[in-house]
Amino acid sequence: MSPSSGRRRPLVRPAVQLHLEILHTVAATVSRTLDVDDVLRTAVEALTRVTGHEIASLHLLSEDGGTLHLRGERGMSPGLRAVNQMLPVGQGLIGRVAATGRTVRVEKNYADPDLLPAARAAVRRERIRGFVCVPINSRGRILGTLSLGRKILDRFEGSEVALLEATADQIGLALDNARLYSETRRQLEELQRAQTQLIHAEKLSAVGKLASGVAHEINNPLTTILGQTHLMLADPQAPEPVRERLKIVTDEAARAARPRPTTRPLGGRASSAPLGPRRT
């Protein structure tokens, strides 16, 4: 502070402090949620605070790995957004990063020979100068790209590129966490289905055993009843009215002893053993 002016000079936050705040914001989001869209949105919003003049874009690879799709952006005009919606892997600045996994930094974006023709017109129109693009990696796989462009003459410093790379690592971690969560949830659902089927099968087996036991318990008295009625019918001195009653008992007991299709064990094949009297 100058003694003569009596005014305090404005304090300028060191770049490292701002970079740490940005990384902390992204890391906190990664640890708080498995919502990938929330992480991507937080990352591109935080990165545009590096100087306040940045344009941020985030692309993710398609399932077949042939194209890049825009999943997040800040500061893009409708025209610039349109040419960045889908980019071919291996072509253009962003596509080259996705193909090689190496960071690209240029000072005159519009003059770079690798810039796609459709993008060149939009970049000139938007007066974007500096540009840096880094890969998003996870477990040795390239998942997409993270880019920053700016309209001012200041070039991207090494510390800013390091910030972008560190943010891309956080995004890669979030994407991997979401993938692992999705796989774990799918495996859990498969396990729950298998457990439900196992429980159902065990219930069917128990019911089948119960039915078999009940049939066995019924079969024993029927055997005794049929045996006794046959002995009584064999007695020549049995009165005719009694014989008629005994025939009714014999017929009904024999009918009850006949095997039925409904007595098959649930969930299995029909039993070959009839519910009939044992021969003595």
CATH of the domain at 103: 3.30.450.40
**163 and 229 belong to one structural domain:** no
Between 223 and 268, where is the model more confident? Answer: 223
- Quick: pLDDT tens for 140-197: 899 999 998 888 777 888 888 888 888 888 888 888 887 777 777 788 888 888 888 8
Amino acid letter, 119: A
Residue 66 token pair: 């042939």
d(CA 73, CA 44): 6
Are 77 and 124 in contact by the 8 Å Cβ rule? The answer is: no
Between 227 and 272, where is the model more confident? Answer: 227
Catalogue the long-range contacts made by 88-96 (C-beta closer than 8 Å, 24 or more residues apart): 89/61, 89/65, 91/116, 92/116, 92/119, 93/131, 93/133, 94/57, 94/59, 94/68, 94/133, 94/145, 94/147, 95/68
Asked, for residue 153, whether it belongs to a domain, the answer is yes
The count of structural domains within the chain is 2
d(CA 142, CA 192): 33
**174 and 67 belong to one structural domain:** yes
Residue 109 token pair: 């974006």
Residue 203 token pair: 């219930």
Does residue 136 carry a pLDDT above 80? yes
**162 and 263 belong to one structural domain:** no
Asked, for residue 187, whether it belongs to a domain, the answer is no
Asked, for residue 220, whether it belongs to a domain, the answer is yes
**147 and 280 belong to one structural domain:** no
Are 258 and 275 in contact by the 8 Å Cβ rule? The answer is: yes
CA-based diameter of the chain, in Å? Answer: 145
d(CA 145, CA 197): 44
d(CA 169, CA 172): 5
Residue 172 token pair: 């890669």
Asked, for residue 5, whether it belongs to a domain, the answer is no
Tell me the average pLDDT of the chain.
77
Residue 6 token pair: 């009596």
Asked, for residue 170, whether it belongs to a domain, the answer is yes
| Mean pLDDT, range 32-53, rounded to an integer | 74
Q: Which domain covers residue 246, as residue numbers?
A: 212-280
| CA-closest candidate to residue 194, choices 252, 246, 260, 186 | 186
Q: What per-residue confidence (pLDDT) applies to 86? A: 94
**39 and 120 belong to one structural domain:** yes
**229 and 176 belong to one structural domain:** no
**216 and 177 belong to one structural domain:** no
| Mean pLDDT, range 211-216, rounded to an integer | 70
d(CA 277, CA 255): 11
247 confidence band (pLDDT: 50, 70, 90) = confident
Q: What per-residue confidence (pLDDT) applies to 258? A: 66
Asked, for residue 154, whether it belongs to a domain, the answer is yes
